[in-house]
Amino acid sequence: MLNGKKILLVISGGIAAYKSLELIRLIRKNGGDVKCILTQGGAQFVTPLSVASLSENPVYTDLWSLKDETEMGHIRLSRDCDLIIIAPTSANMMAKMAHGMAGDLASTTLLASNKPIMVFPAMNPQMWENAATQDNIKTLAARGIKIISPATGDMACGEVGKGRLPEATEMLESLITHFQNNKPLAGLRAIVTSGPTFEPIDPVRFVGNRSSGKQGHAIARALSDMGASVTLVSGPTSLKDPDDIKTIRVETTAQMLEFCQKSLPADIAVCAAAVADWAPEQYASSKIKKGNDDKLSLSFTQNPDILKTLSTPSSSRPALVVGFAAETEHLLDNAKAKLTKKGCDWVVANLVSADNPAFNVDENQVYFVTSKTVEEWPKSSKDDIARQLVERIAKHFANKAFKIAAE
């Protein structure tokens, strides 16, 4: 139900921290991935070892840990997730958040975050009712932070009142509801091409490229997360088919085109595949043997262009067609030329260089090119680029809907 959603769980100090261990288990059982930050206070109640074992991820505790700062870093930690939850959230943690303090890993990560944040306060009823806490809650809520009110009941301190952390199953429900409500692309259909294509030479050899499919698969997941009904047409990759996304696996460019066309009509097409432009003219039905000649010549014919075909004006053209451009030189000129030549609406362009290998790596630095604008997007994970692109797509369709409604 959480479909590979990445959750960053901050565990701050409180006797209720034991419930977060159960929450980690439930998130994983429901298909989510969870990374945890344990505050100093949190570590008084649960151990880093139990959190790491249950999450099967490293646990982050220290802002000044050189290893985490080089490999992960608080900025990356705050960006590389779909949702941040703080459970339990102590009164102290809320006060720090309300005042923008950043003296430890948890508060710094929260201040650096551009992701939705959900807090589960848990504390003694008097602390909860204290005007300082209530003011902090109002401040946080006004900033768009989702506050899940504590439950009422017996407290560990012996008092009775409001301040209990909800049970893990209830916290899980809040997470699922959050993801269900955030679906601006519901009702729209999307086709995504991903990975390389392989063109066979003989039964054991092919012409292909190094594309991993990471970017295309991430886009398919991001579209699906925002509610689109996605068909992913993927060339050969080692990635597993994304949960709940119709995935068609193909080998050749001709098959990729065939299944894209069969998946029409669609509202959105994103061609992220690194398609082989050429296919051997002849297929040898048995393995080509080494002969006396020390040379082998193959001739190639040009493959159909899937992006261009999908972009061609017709009654079945998707309303928005997005292409990719990987270039080794004159990136922006080539990307702009591609918009016109292929007839697509947007191009996501990246320079393939020693600094930005683009292929088969997790990070990329891209430019977002339309007929009117060129934007440089900062280097980030392919998951983040996918989310940013899909947010753009959602905005595009929201504007369109607004225009139609206003007409």
Residues that bind ligand C5P (CB under 6 A): 193, 253, 271, 273, 275, 277, 303, 305-307, 323-325, 338
Contact yes or no for 51/8 (Cβ under 8 A): no
C-alpha angle 303-307-310 in degrees, rounded to nearest 5 = 110
Q: Which tokens belong to 216? A: 């295309």
**Annotated active-site residue in 36, 81, 157, 271:** 157
Q: Are strands 59-60 and 380-381 parallel, antiparallel or unpaired?
A: unpaired
Spatial separation of the C-alpha atoms in residues 336 and 328, rounded to whole Å: 15
Q: State the minimum distance, in angstroms, from the CB of residue 330 to ligand C5P.
A: 12
Nearer to ligand C5P (CB atom), residue 254 or residue 319: 254
Minimum distance from residue 178 beta carbon to ligand C5P (Å): 33
Smallest distance, Å, CB 301 to ligand C5P?
Answer: 12
Query: CB-based burial of residue 144 (10 Å sphere; 0-12 exposed, 13-18 middle, 19+ buried)?
Result: exposed
Smallest distance from the beta carbon of 282 to ligand C5P, in angstroms? 19
Which of 308/379 has CB closer to ligand C5P?
Answer: 308
Cβ-based nearer residue to ligand C5P, 233 or 394: 233
Which positions ≥6 away from 365 have C-beta within 8 Å?
350, 351, 356, 377, 378, 379, 380
Residue 304 CB, shortest distance to ligand C5P, in Å, is 6
Rank residues 108 and 388 by Cβ distance to ligand C5P and give the closer one. 388
Q: Which of 384, 37, 141, 382 is nearest to 239 (CA)?
A: 382
Contact 261, 305 (CB under 8 A): no
Nearest-CB residue for ligand C5P: 306
C-beta closer to ligand C5P: residue 38 or 233: 233
- Three-point CA angle 173, 175, 178, nearest 5°: 110
**Least CB distance from residue 238 to ligand C5P, whole Å?**
19
Complex with ligand C5P: residue 122 or 275, whichever CB lies closer: 275
Burial class (CB in 10 A: 0-12, 13-18, 19+), 291: exposed
Residue 271 annotated to the active site: no
Instruction: Give 258 or 277: the residue with its C-beta nearer to ligand C5P.
Output: 277
Give residues with Cβ within 8 angstroms of 142, minimum separation 6.
Answer: none
Q: Least distance in Å: CB of 52 to ligand C5P?
A: 40
382-391 exposure pattern, b = at least 16 Cβ within 10 A, e = fewer = bbbbbbbbbe
Q: Which residues are catalytic?
A: 157
